[in-house]
Amino acid sequence: MKLSKFNFRFQYGSQQVIFNAISGGLLLLDNTAEVLLEKIGLNQIPEAGLSEIEKVCLEELKRGWIVLENELDELLYLKNIYLRTKYDRTKLVLTVAPTMSCNMRCVYCFEHQEDQSGIMNDEVAAAIVKFAQRRLEVAQLLSVVWFGGEPLLALDKLSALSKSLIDFATAKGRNYSSFLYTNGTLLTRNTAKILADSRVDTVQVSIDGYGEFHDARRKLKNGRPSFGNIIENIKDCCDIINVVIKIGVDRGNVQGAILLLQELARTNLKNRVNVSFSQINSDLDPCVHYVNKTISRRDYASVYLKIIESATEFGYNIVNFEQPPKPRSLCCGHQSMHVVSVDHRGLVYKCLEDMGHSNRALCKIEDYDKFESASQLKWLDYNPIGPECEKCEVLPLCLGGCPRRSFDDGALLCNVDRYVLIDKLKRHVERLVEQQVGPSQVAVSLNEK
**Residues 318, 197 share a domain:** yes
- Mean pLDDT score, 381-403: 86
| Among candidate residues 322, 350, 381, the one where a domain is terminated | 322
Instruction: Judge whether 80 lies within some domain.
Output: no
Residue 340 lies in a domain: no
Q: Is 318:308 a contact under the CB 8 Å cutoff?
A: yes
Structural Rg of the chain based on CA atoms? 24
Q: Are 407 and 270 in contact (CB under 8 A)?
A: no
369 in any annotated domain: no
Question: Does residue 337 sit within a domain?
Answer: no
Same domain, 280 and 423: no
Q: Are residues 146 and 24 in the same domain?
A: no
Residue that is last in its domain, among 322, 352, 380: 322
Measured CA to CA, the distance from residue 257 to residue 246 in angstroms comes to: 10
206 and 308 share a domain? yes
Count how many domains the chain has.
2
**Quick check: bond before 149 cis, omega within 30?**
yes
Pair (109, 55) in one structural domain: no
- Number of Cβ within a 10 Å radius of residue 437: 6
154, with CB counted inside 10 A (0-12, 13-18, 19+), is: buried
Q: Given pLDDT bands bounded at 50, 70 and 90, which one contains residue 449?
A: very low
Number of Cβ atoms within 10 Å of the Cβ of 126: 14
Strands 444-445 and 26-28: antiparallel
- Indicate if 108 and 242 belong to the same structural domain: yes
What residue numbers bound the domain in which 196 lies? 95-322
Q: Is 314 in contact with 284 (CB distance < 8 Å)?
A: no
CA angle in degrees (0–180, nearest 5) for 354-326-9: 120
Q: Are residues 134 and 266 in the same domain?
A: yes
**Are the beta carbons of 252 and 286 closer than 8 angstroms?**
no
Evaluate whether 357 touches 449 at the Cβ level (below 8 Å).
no
Better-scored residue on pLDDT, 234 or 404: 234
Amino acid at 297: R
* Orientation of helix 227-237 relative to helix 189-197, angle to 10°: 50
219 lies in a domain?
Answer: yes
Calculate the dihedral angle through the C-alpha atoms of 297, 302, 304, 310, rounding to the nearest 10 degrees. Answer: -170
Rounded CA-CA distance 175/167 in Å is 11
Residues 193 and 317 in one domain: yes
Burial of 35 (0-12, 13-18, 19+ CB in 10 A): middle
Element (H, E) at 26: strand 26-28
The total of other beta-carbon atoms located within 10 Å of residue 434's CB is: 7
Higher pLDDT, 180 or 354: 180
What CA–CA distance (Å, rounded) separates 125 from 131?
Answer: 10
Strand partners, 281: none
Of 297, 322, 347, the one marking the end of a domain is: 322
Amino acid at 348: V
Enter the pTM of the model.
Answer: 0.90
Q: For 73-101, b where at least 16 C-beta lie within 10 A, e where not — what string?
A: ebeeebeebbeebbeeeebbbbbbbbbbb
The pLDDT of 388-399, averaged and rounded, is 88
The reply to whether 119 falls in a domain is yes
Q: What is the pLDDT of residues 197-235, one digit of tens each?
A: 999 999 999 999 999 999 999 999 999 999 999 999 999
The rounded distance, in Å, linking the Cα atoms of 199 and 166 is: 8
Residues 47 and 113 in one domain: no
User: Looking at residue 308, which CATH number applies to its domain?
Assistant: 3.20.20.70
179 shares its domain with 239? yes
Instruction: Report how far residue 165's alpha carbon sits from residue 283's, in angstroms, rounded to the nearest whole number.
Output: 34
pLDDT tens sequence across 256-305 = 999 999 999 999 899 999 999 998 875 544 455 566 677 888 888 899 99
Q: Which letter does DSSP use for residue 350 in this model? A: S
Angle at 350 between CA 346 and CA 353, to 5 degrees: 90
Model confidence band, residue 319 (pLDDT cutoffs 50, 70, 90): low
Q: Is there a domain that residue 385 lies in? A: no
Residue 326: closest CA among 448, 443, 431:
448
Helices (H), 291-436: 297-313, 319-322, 374-380, 387-390, 395-398, 403-409, 417-435
Q: Does residue 377 lie in a domain region?
A: no
Quick check: 347 and 364 in contact, CB under 8 A? yes
Mean pLDDT of 85-113: 87
pLDDT exceeds cutoff 60 at 371? yes
Q: What does the CA dihedral 123, 129, 134, 140 come to, rounded to 10 degrees? A: 170
How many residues are there in the chain?
Answer: 449
Of 392 and 116, the structure prediction assigns the larger pLDDT to 392
What pLDDT is stored for residue 128 in this prediction? 98
Q: Cα(95)–Cα(177) distance, rounded to whole angstroms?
A: 12
- Determine the pLDDT at residue 446: 43
Same-domain check for residues 172 and 228: yes
405-421: average pLDDT: 78
Q: Dump pLDDT digits (tens) for 2-60.
A: 999 999 999 988 889 999 999 988 888 888 999 899 988 888 776 677 888 988 999 99
**Quick one: 172 and 318 in the same domain?**
yes
> Cβ(129)–Cβ(178) under 8 Å?
no
Whether the CB-CB separation of 418 and 97 falls below 8 Å is answered with: no
The residue type of 40 is I
